[in-house]
Amino acid sequence: MLALLLAQATGRLELPPLNALDRQIHDARLSLFAPATRDERIVILDIDDRALAQQGRWPWPRRRLAGLIDKAFDEGALLMGMDLIMAEPDDSAGLALIEDLARKDSRLLAQLPTLRARFDDDAVMANALRRHPVVLGFYLSDREGQSAARPPPLMPAPASLPAWPGFGGNLAVLQEAAGQAGFLNALVDADGLVRRSLLVARQGDAAYGSLPLMLAEQLLGTAGTEPLMMNGQLQGLSLHTARGPRLMRTGAFGEVFVPYRGPSGQYATLSAAELLDPRAEPARLRAALAGKVVLLGSSAAGLLDQHSMPLQAAYAGVATHASVLSGLLDGQLYHARNDAPAIAALLLLGIAAILLLALPRMNLLPGTALTAALLAALTGHNLWAWSAWHEAWPLTAPLVLTVSLWSLHLLLMQLQERAARQRLQTLFGQYVPVSRVQAMARAPDREHYTLESRAAELSVMFADVRGFTSIAETLAPADLAALMNAYFSAMTEVIGAHQGTLDKYIGDAVMAFWGAPQDDPLHARHAVLAAQAMLARLTLLNEDFAARGWPRLEIRIGINTGTVIVGDLGSQERRAYTVLGDAVNVAARLQALCTTHGVSLLIGPETARQADMPCTSLGPTTLRGHRRQLLIYAPALTAESGPEPVPQEEDEEPPSACR
């Protein structure tokens, strides 16, 4: 995931879904900070459907456009930018026909200068452009070729700017009359929305300015514009104004984000129909135009100068120029940093370092809190950089990496939990009943279900068949195997039913313990109850064995409680989940003493104390291999019966339930 996002962030791989998400994030950020107020410095003079219905279809005669320009400045307009191109001569007044007739009629030829002044609409338009400060528009094309006149360039072109091979401008007479012009090109993203605009573009060795930039130069009284370069890349523009240089940061290709205003904060619009209407109130026109920058354009659907922008589906192209101009005048144009790929790579590596190191060591809630903090920090810093520095920092790839790593961590946690359940079933299935393994698997992290060796207080049982050697001699091997299988199955079932863990079968003996792998505070009592149940179950087994002609079995059981080592013990070739310690040896010795004392069940003193069951003390006994004497007890086989009590030693306090 990290490698994939690094390749995308550094431009080595194109991931359209991430690009789409990046556009959505930009739109949300733009909507959050878009001002809801009007820029009263700018008014749009709109050739709308109403104007076309009143004045006729497009294109209008140049004389009418000249009258529109004159009227706007008569009402106090400060500056005008034209979001339209006049590339072809205007023959609507019939001047070409008059000139053709004049070549055949000498009298008409003599009047031609007067007639040309009257019917040459392009000359009328040129005169209007000379009288007023108007910036024309032109376009750049990715197809080679040039049409009409070229305006003066803005500055020498930085080599880092991509070149546009084609050019389309206005008639030479009109361009010469106006003097200045700016290109009108819009940058359309893959989803059809216009989010960015070029301030400068290169053709040949010259750089040209956009219509908003050329208007800003006029308004700010700029004496010249220079590129700001760093490491061979364009960083922005420096406008030399009367108040000092004004810096306009841009991307490497001269692009900026269009600072659109909210839907309720658009620009004042005046229909061209109202300005050309002789019945219009002069006071209203003057209030609308006096001291304003006028952008002449069209919102009419048939003129195809509409596009979509993030905050509005249908948006006039002239309003986009108004937005860029507003940002230029305020010095608040947003741009993407040229080092954005490097920043994105550093953010991705930092996030990966934090999450890949921290998440595996965290549970669900701390991991979620860390992820949420990272998301909040990334988003907060990005919004702050946009608001305070007017910079678009990389956000999409870091957010995707953060969410993806957290999602992968959740998936791994689920897989690990499932693996833990399966591991528990595999590890402990041979020691405890399936029902207990399933209960352990439902909460594998609640307790330390592990095979690692640890010290724990447990109760250990040894159960041995008395006289097994004689029994084995009297039975055929097949019958002996069947008898022992039935015996082991019954005893194992009883041990499991009383929460015991089967350790192993040692010949004819059964070894089990209580208190691991699941903690059991009543392990001693459960061990004694299991022993009593085993003896009772053996009585039923013997009835079945007698019916089959098999010998009767008698067992001796010893139980002791104490601290032992429990875990996965053994060699590299063979290991087992078992217990070791002196308490285990004592349990084995107690099982062997049953024959000496004529009982079937003996328990140690700690077992008797914790089991808290009726039992009889058989007095102190010195076990083989032990120096200190040990009190041993014989629990009753039922709650009502048991061996006769034996007096206790004064230095050993018997359990309260013992007699």
So what's the pLDDT on residue 486? 95
Q: Which residues of 489-516 are buried (b: 16+ CB within 10 A; e: fewer)?
A: ebbbebbbbbbbbbbeeeebbbbbbbbb
SS3 505: strand
Residue 289 region by backbone torsions, left for phi larger than 0, else alpha for psi between -120 and 50, else beta? alpha
pLDDT at 17 over 50: yes
So what's the pLDDT on residue 99? 58
Residue 299 in contact with residue 95, Cβ under 8 Å? no
Residues whose CB is less than 8 angstroms from the CB of residue 327 and which lie 6 or more positions away in sequence, other chains included: 256, 258, 259, 333, 334
Residue 130 in contact with residue 159, Cβ under 8 Å? no
Residue 166 in contact with residue 177, Cβ under 8 Å? no
Percent of the chain clearing pLDDT 70 (strictly above): 87
So what's the pLDDT on residue 357? 94
What is the distance, to the nearest Å, from the Cα of residue 364 to the centroid of all Cα atoms in its chain?
17
- Mean of pLDDT values over 195-223: 94
So what's the pLDDT on residue 242? 84
Residue 320 in contact with residue 194, Cβ under 8 Å? yes
**Nearest Cα to 300, choosing from 57, 82, 48, 44?**
48
So what's the pLDDT on residue 103? 63
- Give per-residue pLDDT as tens, 262-294: 876 689 999 999 999 989 899 999 999 999 999
pLDDT at 531 over 50: yes
Question: Average model confidence (pLDDT) for the chain?
Answer: 87
- Mean of pLDDT values over 88-102: 64
Q: pTM higher than 0.75 for the full model? A: no
pLDDT at 102 over 80: no
- Specify the pairing of strand 312-316 against strand 454-465: unpaired
Largest pairwise CA distance in the chain: 158
pLDDT at 95 over 80: no
Residue 502 in contact with residue 432, Cβ under 8 Å? yes
- Mean of pLDDT values over 374-401: 96
Is pLDDT larger for residue 404 or for residue 637?
A: 404
- Give per-residue pLDDT as tens, 127-178: 999 999 999 999 999 888 787 888 999 999 998 899 999 999 999 999 999 9
Residue with tokens 């349990």: 587
306 — pLDDT class (breaks 50, 70, 90): confident
pLDDT at 416 over 90: no
119 — pLDDT class (breaks 50, 70, 90): low
- Give per-residue pLDDT as tens, 359-377: 999 988 999 999 999 999 9
So what's the pLDDT on residue 92? 62
For the chain, state the CA radius of gyration. Answer: 48
- Specify the pairing of strand 166-168 against strand 134-141: antiparallel
What's the first-to-final CA gap in the chain, in angstroms? 71
116 — pLDDT class (breaks 50, 70, 90): low
Q: Give the range among 89-98, 369-378, 434-443 with minimum mean pLDDT.
A: 434-443
